[in-house]
Structure 1
Amino acid sequence: MTETVAPDPTPEQAALIARVRRMMLIAGLTTAVGVGALLVVIGYRLFKTDGSASIVDITATLPKGARIVATAAAGDRLAVTVDIGGVTEIRTFDAKTLKPAGRLRFANEP
């Protein structure tokens, strides 16, 4: 079989080939750095802890005869609607610590 021999590139062609190789090297390194940064961010978000792994056990006492009507979670707050002898009250708690954050009472006009 006969092998075809490519002629030697001219100096302009050699400069163009070197330039294309350099551009491909830069593009490859940029891609590798981008993929590495993405993997670091994903790993950080997977393994970071906000302290939410701790279990909080709190007992909130209600007045005698009170009953819970409804509960709701909104953002970082937990709202509990309580009926205390015909008076409606909304108590809010911090969702992470379960500490009381506020109380809103409703009463009927006389």
Structure 2
Amino acid sequence: MTETVAPEPTQEQAALFARVRRMMLIAGLTTALAVAAVLVAIGYRLFRTEGSVVATDTTSILPKGARIVATAVAGDRLVVTLDVGGATEIRTFDAHTLKPAGRLKFVSEP
């Protein structure tokens, strides 16, 4: 069988091959860096330590005659709107621990 022998590249061709190899190396390193950044971001999201969620049972005592009008979640707060004898009151609780975070009362001017 006859083998085809590739002629030696010229000086211009060798320079072009070297430049293409360098560009491919840069592209490969950039791709590897991007894949590593994505994997780090995914790992951070999966394994960041916010603490485990603990189920808590909490009893909050309402004033006599009060009734719950509405509830809502705002960020990391639980908001409870109460009607206390005709006056509106808003109580907020931490959504993670259910500890009271604030109280806002609305009353009419006399």
Q: TM-score range by the shorter chain?
A: 0.7 to 0.9
Q: Which residue of 1 aligns with 2:41?
A: 41
**1:81, distance to aligned residue in structure 2 (A):** 0.7
TM-score by length of 2: 0.84
* Stretch deviating more after TM superposition (73-82 or 2-11): 2-11
Q: Where in structure 1 are there 5+ consecutive unaligned residues?
A: none
Q: Which residue of 2 aligns with 1:10?
A: 10
TM-score by length of 1: 0.84
Query: CA RMSD of the aligned region, Å?
Result: 1.9
**1:40, distance to aligned residue in structure 2 (A):** 1.4
Q: Percent identity?
A: 76
1:69-107 deviations in Å (ceiling 9; x for gaps): 101111122211111222221111122222212211122
Q: Where in structure 2 are there 5+ consecutive unaligned residues?
A: none
Number of aligned positions between the proteins: 110
**1:65, distance to aligned residue in structure 2 (A):** 2.1
2:7 maps to amino acid:
P
